[in-house]
Structure 1
Amino acid sequence: MGNDGGTIPTRQEILNFSLKKLGNTSNASSNSATTISKLLNSYKYCALSNNKLESPIISDAYGKLYNKEAVLLDLIENKHNDVKNKDFTSINDFVTLKIDIKHNHLNCIVSNTSIDLNNDNPKDLKLSDIQFSYIVPCGCTMNTKILKGLISSDHEIIKCPSCSNPFRSSDIIDINSQDEKVKEVLKERLNRLLQSGFYHNLKKIKPKKKHKIKQDSIPTKRIKNSS
């Protein structure tokens, strides 16, 4: 939405700066085995069909992951049956992700670290290590700790370390965040976008066309001559 400029840090600068800035801020509750297992599992299945996630993978404004095919089929079915889905009404409510999930491993495209989604010992993991985020609208997906460590202010413009697309902190979406505060922030972001006339993917919402009824197409009753 008009973003330009910015700088591209090197891979090593990203890693060093992020670790120094954020440090180890995780607490016991956020690193619970249940929370970690839930997040790991959310990277494996479509939030709509519950089928295994397969490329292309898309995400809504709240960071939920979907198979694009499942969403398209749902949109077609709802349109055909004149049913409005409360969660989404357009493919523009989603962003196509550049997310690296192979053989049940989630890989960070910046740090080259790999997370085993079938890890049987979640107690050995930290939430900050497995929490990933993506950038709108490019969809590049990476470790949240690394990505957010690049931002020093809410209004700063920086370029994606993967594709060089410019973005701000408000363009970062945490995937399946287990933090209620993060969910509230994402909700407020979406509300602001909708009020400004934009979809989650930052495309402009086009007003629906009203079908005008031609005057000469309206049937008129013939009045019988009573005389």
Structure 2
Amino acid sequence: MGADGGTIPRRDELVKEKKKPEKKDKTSELQHKWNDCSISQLPLQKPVMACEYGSLYNKESVLECLLDKQKYEGVAKLAHIRGLKDVKELQLTDNPALSRTDNKMDISNCAPYICPVTGLEMNGKHRFCFIWTCGCVISERALKEVPSSLCHKCAKPYAADDVIVLNGDDADFELMKSRMEERRLAAKQSKKGKKKAKTDSEGEPSSKAAKLADKGETSLDKSKLKSATAAKLVTAASSAAKTVKSKSLSVQDDPKSSEVYKSLFTSSDEAKKQGAQHSGWVSFNPQYFR
């Protein structure tokens, strides 16, 4: 059986085969990982940040994500970033080829950053790492060929666990995750130790019972202090009254009073004489004498 003209159809024309899945372009995928932000998918611009998993971000995108987590899709993958302390600003080395003005050189495929030791371009073809303590970006080849406990770029000391692989594979991801958990646990324990040392240096009781005992002693001391203060006030008031009483002068001893004014009182000499003559009088007053 055939079509007009006696042609015979082929099998692929009669049977629809299942379409093969499209393959990813590895070159485009590498360029996307190393040149674009993992949050906003925009081109990377300084300052460039990296998390403890080795992903690259723009600092502006990280800040926007922390302020409004609903702005970007797939933010659940960024649950390990709780704040700016969980990302590090990278100290990148610019590629000098991009600054040249030689028209004969094709710089369209040049990476914007290179390794400061080996000069390898950071384009995904070579493995790159960064040191968490200082943020310097160095190729893995440089770290292996020139082993050292000091950073090759800034000469700051670092440990082996501080080396984080940028855009690593699944095995690298699991390793970076375990190192992140160990690093955060050590930081938490160090913080608790510093807090405890500060409490001990200030002399504060560490147990609850000691705090309650200290509180009880303080209340007793306050009550004793109040009673002692009250007793002192009473003693001072009585002594002041005695002093005022001892210092008070009678009318007859007052040098400022006149003799006429003194004679009005029973304590005067004339009143005492008249009182002896008129013993029945209770008080002395000159106006009653005739």
TM-score band (shorter)? Answer: 0.5 to 0.7
Q: Kindly indicate which of the two structures has a greater share of residues assigned to helix.
A: 2
- Work out the CA distance in 2 between the residues paired with 1:38 and 1:204: 41
- Work out the CA distance in 2 between the residues paired with 1:150 and 1:204: 34
Q: Which has the higher contact order (CA 8 A, sep 6+)?
A: 1
What does residue 173 of structure 2 align with?
Answer: 183
- Range with bigger deviation, 105-114 or 167-176: 105-114
The aligned runs of 1:65-214 (5 Å cut-off) are 65-78=56-69, 86-100=79-93, 105=111, 106-114=113-121, 117=123, 130-151=126-147, 158-178=149-169, 180-197=170-187
> How far 1:41 moved relative to its partner?
2.9
Q: Deviations over 1:145-189 (max 9, x none)?
A: 2124444xxxxx7111110010111111000012x2221111111
Q: Kindly indicate which of the two structures has a greater share of residues assigned to strand.
A: 1
Amino acid at match of 1:131: R
- Work out the CA distance in 2 between the residues paired with 1:72 and 1:173: 22
> Taking every aligned residue pair, what percent have the same amino acid on both sides?
26
Could you tell me whether the CA contact under 8 Å between 1:43 and 1:65 is conserved in 2?
Answer: yes
Could you tell me whether the CA contact under 8 Å between 1:56 and 1:68 is conserved in 2?
Answer: yes
What is the aligned length?
151
> How far 1:92 moved relative to its partner?
0.6
Please, what TM-score do these two structures have when normalized by structure 2?
Answer: 0.46
> How far 1:72 moved relative to its partner?
0.8
> How far 1:37 moved relative to its partner?
5.4
Amino acid at match of 1:147: L
Label 1:147 to 1:108 Cα distance change in 2 as closer, same or farther (>3 A). same
Amino acid at match of 2:177: K
Structure 2 stretches lacking a partner, 5+ long: 1-23, 99-109, 196-290
Describe the SS at the equivalent of 1:110: coil
> How far 1:133 moved relative to its partner?
0.5
What does residue 221 of structure 1 align with?
Answer: none
Describe the SS at the equivalent of 1:197: helix
Q: Deviations over 1:6-56 (max 9, x none)?
A: xxxxxxxxxxxxxxxxxxxxxxxxxxx966653443110000110000000
After the TM superposition, list the runs of 4 or more consecutive aligned residues in structure 1 that deviate by more than 6 angstroms.
203-207
Structure 1 stretches lacking a partner, 5+ long: 1-32, 118-126, 152-156, 208-227
